[in-house]
């Protein structure tokens, strides 16, 4: 019997990849995917547990599904399901199925079973998981770029982070499976592939294939020359000459690196268990900027970590202010039960934390505008994503991750076109199509 399935996703690109795999499985089985906001026979909530707010949102989505259709089957998975299954059970007095991160490959078959007990829990000890779940994806609904998850889990155990407890240790997808997934995306006509994972820099170290993240990126660029390859995030300690050489050698490797800093104060970095110093980070950013002056460099920053006094906060701000970074992702520290940081002394008052977040986010806007101004007059290839409803212009991202708007035909959506970036209007980069489009450009 054909069922209606609603899937919603919180959190990271890895979760988005995994939800796309669920949708692929349900669709292949002949079922219909419907909006989460409406009635459905089965609701799948792929949760996030990185922050307290994400956990709250996860619970709200479960309650919403129950209200929308009290008779529906509720499937809850993801990081919050892994670490807080008991809290999810308390939400509902009716049938609910909780599937941990190590068993996501069982989700579609479990959701479609004729008979399930009132409570089904497939969580297990994620720390003992030795292999990555195989979750093939055919399409990303409503997206012009695709995500390719090559790795799961993390061995770093930063003192503030719940991920090693919710995702387990680092596990890699074998190279053959990575390339097979890339081929599926090429067959579907995708022009850009974002390589993602929880800690992609550890790719291959758990396998016996002689592969690492650098050799894999080289292979992806060589095997898919007609696709733009973008790396989602990489640790500062994993940026080396081999990575920079790979970027330089392949025109389809996008000049865009996202590198988490978290703090610019050495004392706080040590309390975070980040394993590098501010000086090391400055050196890494300097190498990237010297090798690729037009590259986009993004940073994650965590404000209000326990023990972050005014001097430490100022060290972070001044360090970022002086670095040639293009944008910042700023987050307030959120205590996660079960992590060392949650029980540290000198937790920061919420008002102080929010003040620091606002200041860093203003710096983010300054960095973005400065980066845009430096790019004025330059020519770029842009993957056209959609038409903006507000201004009627096409929009997409340049190779170096500038979100540009420009006039053009709807037929250009999902194509890579050449534009010249020539104006900033209301802080928004505006470009125009060049006459010679270069149809085969990656």
Helix (H/G/I), strand (E/B), else coil: 130: coil
Neighbours of 430 (CB within 10 A): 17
Mean pLDDT score of the chain? 94
End-to-end, the C-alpha distance of the chain in Å comes to 43
Judged against a pLDDT cut of 80, whether residue 95 lies above it is answered with no
- Confidence at 195, pLDDT banded by 50, 70, 90: very high
What's the CA dihedral at 177, 178, 181, 187 to 10 degrees? -120
Q: Provide the pLDDT for residue 305.
A: 98
What distance in Å separates the CA atoms of residue 55 and residue 36, rounded to the nearest whole number? 18
What distance in Å separates the CA atoms of residue 314 and residue 332, rounded to the nearest whole number? 15
Q: Provide the pLDDT for residue 1.
A: 85
What distance in Å separates the CA atoms of residue 100 and residue 250, rounded to the nearest whole number? 38
Residue range 6-31: mean pLDDT, rounded:
96
Residue range 208-219: mean pLDDT, rounded:
97
Which of the two residues, 301 and 143, has the higher pLDDT score?
A: 301
Q: Provide the pLDDT for residue 438.
A: 42
What H or E segment, with its residue span, contains residue 289?
A: helix 278-291
What distance in Å separates the CA atoms of residue 7 and residue 1, rounded to the nearest whole number? 19
Q: Provide the pLDDT for residue 437.
A: 59
Domains of the chain by start residue, with CATH: 4-124 (3.40.50.12160), 130-254 (3.30.750.210), 256-375 (3.30.750.200), 377-433 (2.40.50.140)
Judged against a pLDDT cut of 70, whether residue 440 lies above it is answered with no
Judged against a pLDDT cut of 90, whether residue 276 lies above it is answered with yes
- Confidence at 91, pLDDT banded by 50, 70, 90: confident
The number of residues in the chain equals 442
- Confidence at 119, pLDDT banded by 50, 70, 90: low
State percent of the chain over pLDDT 90: 88
What distance in Å separates the CA atoms of residue 154 and residue 10, rounded to the nearest whole number? 19
Q: What is the pLDDT of residues 396-426, one digit of tens each?
A: 999 999 999 999 999 999 999 999 999 999 9
What distance in Å separates the CA atoms of residue 418 and residue 439, rounded to the nearest whole number? 9
Judged against a pLDDT cut of 80, whether residue 120 lies above it is answered with no
Neighbours of 343 (CB within 10 A): 12
- Confidence at 118, pLDDT banded by 50, 70, 90: low
Q: What is the pLDDT of residues 53-76, one digit of tens each?
A: 899 999 999 999 999 999 999 999
Which of the two residues, 408 and 118, has the higher pLDDT score?
A: 408
Residue range 210-221: mean pLDDT, rounded:
98
Q: Provide the pLDDT for residue 341.
A: 97
What H or E segment, with its residue span, contains residue 27?
A: helix 13-28
Give helix 241-249 / helix 278-291 axis angle, nearest 10°.
20
Residue range 328-355: mean pLDDT, rounded:
95
Judged against a pLDDT cut of 60, whether residue 214 lies above it is answered with yes
Residue range 190-208: mean pLDDT, rounded:
97
Q: Provide the pLDDT for residue 435.
A: 79
Contact of 126 with 306, CB cutoff 8 Å: no
- Confidence at 106, pLDDT banded by 50, 70, 90: very high
Burial 51-70 (b: 16+ CB within 10 A, else e): beebbebbbebbeebbeebe
State percent of the chain over pLDDT 70: 97
Residue range 317-339: mean pLDDT, rounded:
96
Of 189, 216, 218, 191, which is closest to residue 204 (Cα–Cα)? 216
- Confidence at 441, pLDDT banded by 50, 70, 90: very low
- Confidence at 442, pLDDT banded by 50, 70, 90: very low
Give backbone dihedrals phi and psi of 424, rounded to 5 degrees, phi first. Answer: -120, 115
């Amino acid at each position: 019997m054909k069922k209606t399935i609603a899937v919603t996703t919180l959190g990271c690109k890895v979760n988005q990849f995994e939800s796309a795999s669920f949708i692929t499985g349900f669709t292949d089985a002949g079922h219909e995917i419907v909006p989460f906001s409406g009635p459905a026979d089965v609701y799948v909530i792929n949760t996030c547990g990185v922050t307290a707010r994400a956990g709250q949102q996860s619970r709200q989505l479960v309650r919403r599904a129950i209200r929308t259709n009290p008779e529906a089957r509720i499937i809850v998975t993801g990081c919050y399901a892994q670490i807080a299954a008991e809290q999810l059970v308390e939400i509902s007095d009716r049938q609910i199925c909780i599937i941990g991160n190590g068993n996501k490959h069982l989700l579609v078959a479990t959701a479609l079973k004729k008979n399930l007990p009132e409570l089904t829990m497939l969580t297990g000890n994620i720390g003992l998981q030795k292999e990555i779940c195989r979750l093939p994806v055919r399409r990303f609904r409503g997206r012009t770029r695709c995500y390719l998850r090559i790795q799961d889990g993390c061995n770093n155990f930063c003192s503030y982070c719940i991920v090693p407890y919710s995702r387990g240790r680092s596990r890699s997808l074998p190279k053959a499976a990575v390339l097979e997934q890339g081929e599926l995306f090429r067959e579907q006509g995708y022009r850009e592939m974002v390589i993602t994972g929880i800690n992609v820099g550890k790719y291959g170290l758990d396998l016996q294939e002689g592969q690492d993240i650098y050799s894999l990126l080289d292979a992806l660029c060589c095997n898919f020359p007609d696709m733009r390859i973008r790396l989602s995030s990489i640790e500062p300690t994993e940026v080396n000459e081999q990575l920079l050489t790979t970027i330089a050698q392949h025109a389809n490797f996008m000049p865009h690196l996202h590198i988490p800093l978290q703090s610019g104060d050495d004392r706080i970095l040590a309390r975070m268990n980040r394993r590098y110093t501010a000086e090391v980070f400055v050196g890494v950013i300097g190498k990237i900027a010297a090798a690729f002056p037009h590259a986009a460099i993004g940073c994650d920053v965590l404000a209000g970590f326990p023990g972050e006094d005014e001097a430490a906060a100022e060290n972070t701000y001044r360090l970022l202010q002086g670095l040639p970074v293009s944008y910042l992702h700023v987050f307030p520290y959120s205590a996660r039960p079960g992590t060392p940081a949650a029980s540290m002394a000198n937790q920061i008052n919420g008002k102080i934390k929010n003040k620091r977040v606002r200041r860093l986010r203003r710096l983010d806007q300054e960095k973005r505008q400065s980066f845009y101004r430096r790019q004025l007059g330059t020519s770029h290839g842009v993957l056209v994503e959609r038409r903006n409803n507000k201004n009627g212009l096409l929009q997409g991202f340049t190779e170096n991750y500038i979100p540009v708007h420009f006039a053009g035909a709807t037929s250009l959506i999902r194509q890579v076109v050449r534009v010249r970036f020539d104006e900033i209007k209301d802080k928004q980069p505006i470009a125009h199509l060049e006459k010679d489009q270069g149809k085969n450009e990656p």
